[in-house]
Amino acid sequence: MTDIVILVGGEGKRLGRLTKKIPKPLIKIGNKNFLDILISKIIKYNFNFIYLMCSYKREYFFKLYQNKVIHNSIIKCIDEGSRKDTGGGLIKLKNKIKNNFYIINGVSYLDGDLNLLKKFKNNKTIGKIAVTINKDYKKNVKLNNIILKERDLLNFSKKKTNLMNGGMYYFNKKIFKYLSRKRISLENDIISKLIIEKKIEGVVMKKKFIDIGTPNKLSFFRANKKYFKQRAFFLDRDGVINKLVKNDYIKNNKELIFLPGVGKGINYLNTIDFCVIIISNQACVGKGIISEKKLNNIHKYMKNTLKNNFDATINDIFYSPYYKFSKNLKYRLNKNDRKPNVGLFNKAIKKWNIDINKSFFIGDSLIDKVASKKIRLKFYYKEKGSLYTQIKKYEKNY
C-alpha cells in the first residue's frame, strides 16, 4: 500500500496573529480544522500511513493525531525539529517509507485525482507533480512558468506561462538520495534541479485549487465553508446493491447476488466525484445469525468483486448490528444507528465532510425514506431494472 506525507511544519506568518497560538493547518473552517478537511478528501485512497511532518507547535499535532486511525489509514507524526522548510525534514522518512509515495501541502489542496500521478512515462523519472493553471497567484515563486514537454516531462519556460505547481507530488524512493538534514526547499532546491535533469514529469489538473495561506483566501473560505464539502450517494444494501432475501439475511458470499447495473452505476458515481457510501441495518449480527467478522468478510467480498469486475469503488460501509433482545449486550447499544434513526448518516457526514444538500439516498423501504426525511436528504426508492439507468436519470439534479 502507498503512503502519503503532509507538510504541516510551517509558521504561517502571512496570517499574522491567527497563527501565533495555533498552527496554520489547524485553523477552523466552520466547525472543522483545515487538516481534518484535507484528510477527509484523501482517505478514499486507503493509504497505509499518513505522515505529518511537524515543526512549528508540533505538540498540537501529536496530541490530536499521533497513531490515530482514520478509515484504513494510520497517522504518524514526525518531529523534524527546527524548521527545515519543505524538504529538510523528509530525510527522517527514509527508513519508514518502503515504496513510492505522495507528498502534499497541509494548507492547500488541488482537488484532483491522485491516481493520475502514479504512472511514469520515462525510465529516468524520479517524481511526478500536479500542475494547475495559475489564475491569481502573481507572487508565486515556487515552480511557476513551467511547461509540459514530450512524454509529460516538465521544463521551465523562458516566457511567462499560466502553469504552476499544484502542491501534489508522487516520488520514487530514489528521491531520498537528493535529501539532507539541512534546511532546503523541496520545490526550489530539489525539484527545480531534477526538472533541469529531465527527471520530473507533470500532469495538468483542472480541478479547483484550495489555499488558505493568505488572509483574503482564508476569509473567503470561512465565508464559503461548503466549498470544501463532498457529495455523496448513499445506498441501502439489501434490495439496492444485492437481491433481497425475503424474511432472511445474507449469510455468506454465495447468497450475495448483485442486482443489474450496480457495478456500472457505482463506477459512474466514482467518475463524477461522488462518495459512495452504504448505510445498512444488519440485525442479523445482534440476533446471532452471523458474526460481525462474517459480515465484514461478506462486505470485503462485495467491495472486491465490484472493484475487480467494474472498477467500481464503494468508499465506505456503515452498518447497524443493533437488536434490542440481543444476547450480546454490546449489540443492544447504539440504537440511534439503526434506521429509521440517523446515527449512521451523521457518522458518515462527519467522517467524509458531506454536503447533505448535494447528496442523495437510494433505498427500498419506508424505513429508508423516513430516515432521509429526518436528515433532509433527497431520497429515491430503488426502481426495477438497472441501478445505473436510475442514477443516470437523476443526473439533471446533480
| Predicted local distance difference test score (pLDDT) of residue 350 | 96
Mean pLDDT of 25-51: 95
Would you call 3 a catalytic residue per the annotation? no
The one catalytic residue among 36, 152, 236, 316: 236
* Active-site choice (36, 152, 189, 238): 238
Calculate mean pLDDT across residues 192-204.
Answer: 93
CB neighbour class for 224 (10 Å; exposed up to 12, middle 13-18, buried from 19): exposed
Q: How far apart are CA 314 and CA 323, in angstroms?
A: 26
Q: How does pLDDT run across 218-259, given as a tens digit for each residue?
A: 888 888 888 889 999 999 999 999 999 888 999 999 999 999
Torsion of CA 7, 9, 13, 15, to 10 degrees: 60
Please calculate the CA angle 261-234-322 and round it to the nearest 5 degrees.
115
Q: Which of 98, 56, 51, 50 is nearest to 72 (CA)?
A: 50
Cβ–Cβ < 8 Å for 41, 275: no
Q: Which tens digit of pLDDT belongs to each residue from 109-146? A: 898 899 999 999 999 999 999 998 876 655 545 566 78
Identify whether 238 is a catalytic site residue: yes
10 Å CB burial of residue 91 (0-12, 13-18, 19+) is middle
